[in-house]
Structures are given as C-alpha cells and as structure tokens.
C-alpha cells in the first residue's frame, strides 16, 4: 500500500469545512483518533489547522496543549516525509472534554472565517510539489516545537506559533502562497519574541545574582 500523501485543492470554504468537522463531535469527550478518522487520510493539513484553533484564544483546556501540540509536530513531520503519520496511542486515545474543547474550536473557527475572503490560489509555487511541501512541513514542525515551549502563562507564547501553524496549513490547503509566507513571518516573529523573553530573563537573573554577589 502506497503511504504517500497528496494535497487536493478544495472549493469549500475553510471555515465551512472546520465547522462540519466540529459539528460531528458528539458525546462527552473526543479523541484525536476520532478527529483524524473524520478527516481521512487526505486531512493531515486540516488536522494541523484544527489543532491550532484552541491556541488562538486565551483559554486553558487540560490536556489540549500536550495532545494537539504533539500531534502537530508528528503530523507535520509526516507531511515533510510525504508519508502517513504514526502517532502514539497515548496521544491518539487521550480523551478531551467536549464541553470545553468544542466552544474553543468554534471560537477559533470564527477567527478563521475572517480569513476566508482573502484565501485564494496565488503564488502557487510555494504550495505545490514535494520539495516545497517538505519545506512547509518543516516550518509547521518548527511552529509546533515553539508551541510546546513551557511558556503557557506568558502572553502570546502560544498564540503566535498557533497563528503560524494555522496560516501555513490553510495556505497549503487553499494553495495560497501569500498566506504561507505570512505563516513563515509569524514563525520569525515568534522566535524573535522568545529571544526577547530569554534576554530579559537572563538580564533579570544577572541582576539578582549581582545583588547577592
């Protein structure tokens, strides 16, 4: 069986596709396995987009950061390798409370709906071909790693890489190279932001050390 993946163009609005997926969540809890089964093998980028939604708003849902962050990294690595992803059972089958997750996803979709009017095929050289898909996959992986940094209490530490993941994945889905470039920009912004945080933390540490020196 050929495990390679290809990304298909879509004429359906991204927010409409996401709403249909979220509307299918039933019961008191949901797992990543159920979400992946709903989107099918061609939905790897859609999984990345869905997993980025809770990080676009200031909300804390137990387990989401670990499950969705790890999923983004592993799925994006699969995109880079042009293969279907392998995910550990602990990530696939961990149950997330629907009552908290679904409202967060819906709020994220409301943000995505504002992008719909701007999404269109352009600069398609940045969204077509195995080589560029692998480069874009690595960019999503980088954003996923930045998302997993233990800085959840610091403003924008999750939001900035979450935006990068959303832009990169939706840009690839909709063949919009401009949006993909915006995703790269948010990766750069995130790295600069984390660098500034590290500098101030180091400076504060040096100041405290000098007081007791």
Give the pLDDT confidence score for residue 4 in this predicted structure. 40
> What is the pLDDT, as a whole number, of residue 9?
47
- Looking at residue 40, what is its pLDDT? 62
DSSP label at residue 9: P
**pLDDT value for 7:** 45
- Considering the entire predicted model, what is its pTM? 0.78
Which pLDDT belongs to residue 42?
53
Phi, psi of 96 (to 5 degrees): -115, 140
pLDDT tens figures, 156-201: 888 899 999 999 998 998 889 999 999 999 999 999 999 998 888 8
- What is the pLDDT, as a whole number, of residue 12? 64
* Dihedral, 29, 32, 38, 43 alpha carbons, nearest 10: 150
What is the sign, positive or negative, of the torsion defined by CA atoms of 198, 203, 208, 212? Answer: positive
Q: What is the pLDDT of residue 203?
A: 80
Q: With a cut of 50, which residues of the chain have pLDDT below it? A: 1-9, 41
């Amino acid at each position: 069986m050929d495990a390679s993946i290809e990304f298909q163009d879509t004429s359906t609005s991204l927010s409409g596709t996401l709403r249909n997926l979220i509307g299918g969540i039933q019961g008191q809890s949901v797992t990543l396995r159920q979400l992946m089964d709903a989107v099918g093998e061609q939905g790897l980028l859609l999984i990345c987009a869905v997993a980025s939604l809770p990080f676009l708003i200031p909300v804390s849902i137990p387990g989401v950061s670990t499950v969705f962050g790890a999923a983004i990294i592993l799925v994006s690595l699969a995109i880079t390798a042009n293969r279907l992803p392998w995910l550990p059972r602990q990530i696939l089958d961990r149950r997330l409370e629907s009552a908290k997750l679904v409202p967060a996803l819906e709020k994220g979709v409301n943000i995505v709906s504002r992008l719909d009017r701007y999404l269109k095929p352009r600069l398609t050289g940045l969204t077509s071909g195995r080589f560029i898909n692998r480069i874009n996959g690595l960019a999503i992986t980088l954003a996923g790693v930045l998302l997993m940094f233990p800085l959840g209490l610091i403003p924008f530490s999750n939001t900035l890489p979450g935006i990068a993941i959303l832009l990169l994945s939706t840009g690839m889905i909709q063949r919009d190279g401009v949006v993909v470039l915006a995703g790269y920009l948010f990766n750069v912004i995130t790295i600069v932001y984390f660098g500034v945080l590290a500098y101030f933390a180091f400076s504060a540490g040096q100041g405290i050390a000098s007081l007791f020196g």
